Structure formats: structure tokens, C-alpha cells
Amino acid sequence: MRCIPQTVTAANQAAWLAFLRDEEKAAATVEKYGRDVRAFAAWLAGTQATNDAVASKAASSIAAPVTKEVACDYKKHLLEKGREATGINAVIAALNSFFAFMEWGIKLKPLKIQRQTFRAADKELTKAEYERLLRAATTKKDERLCLVMQTVCSTGIRVSELRHITVEAARTGLAAITNKGKTRTVFIPKQLKPLLLAYAKGRRISSGCIFVTKTGGLLDRKNIWADMKKLCQSANVDPKKCYPHNLRALFARVFYGIDKDIVRLADILGHSSIDTTRIYLLESGETHRKRVDALGLVMRLMRL
């Protein structure tokens, strides 16, 4: 084990994040992990900072030692703040990654979570709500956002994989998606192909990535998320449901409803584990309630 002072600094955070990028971790994962460790650093400094700018400033100046006891105290702090167990476990994963990179011999145990049997209705985007979002984007004449949502929802790709939707892919109807060291082929629906090609032609994009910024850069996931949020009111959709990943989840539910092949669906989504795919297929709480009510195991007896 390297003899390194167990303190969180801007330098060792930067080295760790560079390592994650070298390991080809998804950009969103690197960003999330970095944000979680900066929040931990801010807590160590006693700032209780919540925004990245303050947390980053705190992280560059503190020299508080990190011990297993301190890390456990932070875990308790998150629990006391009322954070959801899944969110806390995501933070723990980030911290454990950082601690392992630093070789500090600290590893936090994640919270035990009983597998959910249904999904909260307030987080499930329905097909009807999706269609209202598309109409709202059309009304606002946001052609790019409308097409981005349709592309993600009709293919099941991640937003970070939009860069693989190229003019060449639209012509052939096949997109080679490379992510997390794996490559899979995704079919582009025949109804989507002419829309993509017409959009590209209108913006004089003759080859390469279709969805780019005005300066030719790749679309940012945060911008897509923010643009979708702007549609909520006019589309009458709860903002909590309005984020890009929910489009991918809707694809998974609709596809499974027709095909009923979870192994095939896992391959299409690029999941290494079917357990991950199962999360997408949890039925809504209302559907679960109807199933329970339909059991007929309650009898209305005469009052004695």
C-alpha cells in the first residue's frame, strides 16, 4: 500500500477522474462520481455545500484526514438528511471508487435494499405523456428536440450514444453503438430514417453525427434534459418524469410488452446483466394494486 496522506485534495481528485476516463467510464458516470466526492470533501470542510462551485473550492483547500469512521459518519449524515437509499448507495459507489484508487483501505458497505416489486407511478413516463411531449416540442418548433426524443425512445439508446446516430447509419438503418467497451448494433426504425435524413439535409450535414450544436460539437445531456423540462407545462407532464433516460425506459417497457424476451431486450439496451433490465420492466404501482385487488381474498362478513 502506498504511503499517501489520507486527505482529499483537488490534485488527487483530478488524478482519480483521469483514471476513470482512461478506464473508459461513461462521461456521465465520471461527472456524477466527481460531484459526489466533491460533496464529501465539502462536508469534511464543514461547509455543507450543495453546489459544485462551492464544493470544488472547499475541496481544494481542506486537509481533513479521511478515516473509516469519518466515512461512516458521512453515510449517517446522508441518511439523516433523508436521502433515498438508492441515492446513498450511488454516493457510496463513488466514494469506494475514490478510496480504492487512493489505496486507503477504506470501503463502505452499501445499504441493503429489498428488491422493488413495482415502480412509483409518479416516475413512470407513459406513452400518452411521451406523445404530448412530442406535440409540445412541435408546437414550439423545436425540431431537433422532437427528433432527439423520438430517436432515443424508438431505439432504446442512451443519450450519450446519440453521437452514433450518423447520416451513414440513417441511410443503412443500422447504427453501431460502442459504449463501456462493448459494441452492439441498433436498428433505426424505417419511419425514423427519412426524418433523420431530412433533418440532416436541412442543416447541410452530409456525413457523421446528425445531432450536433451550432458549432458542430456533440449535444450535451444536460441541455437535452433542460429542454425537455421546458415542455412539461405545455405538455401537462409532471417534471419528475421529464428526463431523457425515461425515454429509454419507455422503449424497454413497450418492446417487452410485444416481444416478451428479456434476454433480447438486454442485448438491445446494452445491459451486461438481466437484473438491470428487470428494473426497467417493473410494473406501475397502480397495475400492482389492481392485481392485488383482483385476488379476491377479502370477504365482507356479516357483523356479529
Q: Give tens-digit pLDDT for 24-50.
A: 888 888 999 999 999 999 999 884 444
Say which residue, 96 or 58, is predicted with more confidence.
Answer: 96
Q: Using DSSP, state whether 212 is helix, strand or coil.
A: strand
Which among 156, 302, 139, 136 has a CA at the least distance from the CA of 229?
A: 136
Mean pLDDT to the nearest integer, 226-232: 93
10 backbone dihedrals φ, ψ, rounded to 5°: -60, -35
Q: What is the CATH number of domain 121-288?
A: 1.10.443.10
Three-state DSSP at 231 gives coil
Which tens digit of pLDDT belongs to each residue from 68-77? Answer: 999 999 999 9
Q: Write out the three cell numbers for 35.
A: 460531484
pLDDT of residue 207: 94
Residues 116-160 have pLDDT tens digits of 656 666 678 999 999 999 999 999 999 999 999 999 999 999 998
Mean per-residue pLDDT over the chain, rounded: 86
User: How far from 227 is each of 149, 183, 250, 254, CA to CA, in Å?
Assistant: 11, 29, 19, 24
Please give the model's pTM, rounded to 2 decimal places.
0.66
Q: Where are the domains of the chain?
A: 10-102, 121-288
Distant-in-sequence, close-in-space partners of 153: CB < 8 Å, separation ≥ 6: 130, 247, 248, 250, 251
Query: Residue 187 in 3-state DSSP?
Result: strand
Provide, rounded to the nearest whole percent, the portion of the chain with pLDDT above 90.
Answer: 62
Does residue 55 surpass a pLDDT of 80? no
- Residue 106 scores a pLDDT above 80: yes
Q: Which amino acid is at 156?
A: G
